[in-house]
Amino acid sequence: MRNSIVSTAVAGALLALGSQAAMAAPDWSKVAKRDIHVFHAGVTPIEWMVKKSDHSGTAGMRKGETCAGCHEEKGALNLNFKRLADKELEPKGAPKTMTFPVGFQAAYDKDNLYIRLSFKAPSGGADKGDKDNEVKATLLFADAKVPQAAQFGCWQTCHADARSMPGADDKKTKYTKEGAYELVQWASKGNKVSDGSVTTERKMSGGATGAKAEGGKSGDGYTITFTRKNPGEGKAVPFGVAIHADNASGRFHHVSMGYTLGIGADGDIKAAKQ
């Protein structure tokens, strides 16, 4: 009887260790890093993006070209930042830093997808609407029903009638007209993690990713590691990154173009298998 109890205890301990090993974050020193440049987009919702008189890139997008394919050049962004900072496209005032790089690493195992973001959050923002959080980092993952998600990235959630847009309803949040985005966010106050979604409205809870996050500030840089349920091997998932720096709120974030994350598949970025 005693031997049976000991054997059971040992088996339980080994099982627990195995479970912890399965959940352990990757060795990031062995995972390739790519810089994704985020930028302040001002008042350029999806309606602006697809209007030829506003955005000269609409012709290319109708042919299937991605935003990143047009604007990413030699590891940086080729954008008219002077225009993005003027009163037409940023009536409240542009941040001093219009663009900065975010180191992006991704890995996966049977159960989980791991994403690590590393960046220096700039100061000098024109909006400090979030007094509680110096920084927020958000990932959005589009499902297959979001039109042109791989081209437009997060712009399919951003509309001219959403709050913080000029003259818009202050109660209306981001939304999609078709499909859904999984939303995962880390907020600096209390290392808060939100697992939500964007469909007909944005919800910061009730998501299905099982999201966890850890990390924070060291010196002048932030490193945040997200763990979420693996969306499925063999998929290329459209995603975008948004960083709210210097206590920014609403649309006063810096956002990425749209990319695809290959999980055992081709993509703009390929997650490393662990």
| pLDDT exceeds 80 at position 7 | no
Report, as an integer, the average pLDDT of 221-241. 97
| pLDDT exceeds 70 at position 103 | yes
**pLDDT value, residue 273:** 97
**pLDDT value, residue 75:** 85
The third-level CATH classification (topology) of the domain covering 33-273 is Immunoglobulin-like (2.60.40)
Tens-digit pLDDT profile for residues 244-256:
999 999 999 999 9
> Are 152 and 67 a contacting pair, CB within 8 Å?
yes
Helix (H/G/I), strand (E/B), else coil: 257 = coil
Report, as an integer, the average pLDDT of 150-171. 94
Helix (H/G/I), strand (E/B), else coil: 21 = helix
Residue 25: pLDDT band with limits 50, 70, 90: confident
Tens-digit pLDDT profile for residues 114-148:
999 999 999 999 999 999 999 999 999 999 999 99
| pLDDT exceeds 80 at position 179 | yes
Joined tokens for residue 54? 């506003």
Mean pLDDT of the chain: 91
Give me the percent of the chain exceeding a pLDDT of 70.
91
**pLDDT value, residue 3:** 46
| pLDDT exceeds 60 at position 229 | yes
Tens-digit pLDDT profile for residues 32-62:
999 999 999 999 999 999 999 999 999 898 8
**pLDDT value, residue 136:** 98
Rounded to whole angstroms, the Cα distance separating 238 from 202 reads 18
pTM of the model: 0.90
Q: Which residue has the higher pLDDT, 60 or 2?
A: 60
**pLDDT value, residue 120:** 98
**pLDDT value, residue 219:** 93
Domain boundaries, the chain: 33-273
Joined tokens for residue 36? 């994704």
Write down the H helix ranges in the chain.
Answer: 2-23, 46-49, 58-62, 67-71, 81-85, 149-152
Report, as an integer, the average pLDDT of 13-40. 73
Phi/psi of residue 142, nearest 5 degrees? -90, 145
**pLDDT value, residue 86:** 97
**pLDDT value, residue 207:** 98
> Helices then strands (H, E): number in the chain?
6, 16
> Are 12 and 217 a contacting pair, CB within 8 Å?
no
Joined tokens for residue 46? 């999806």
Rounded to whole angstroms, the Cα distance separating 160 from 127 reads 19
| pLDDT exceeds 90 at position 106 | yes
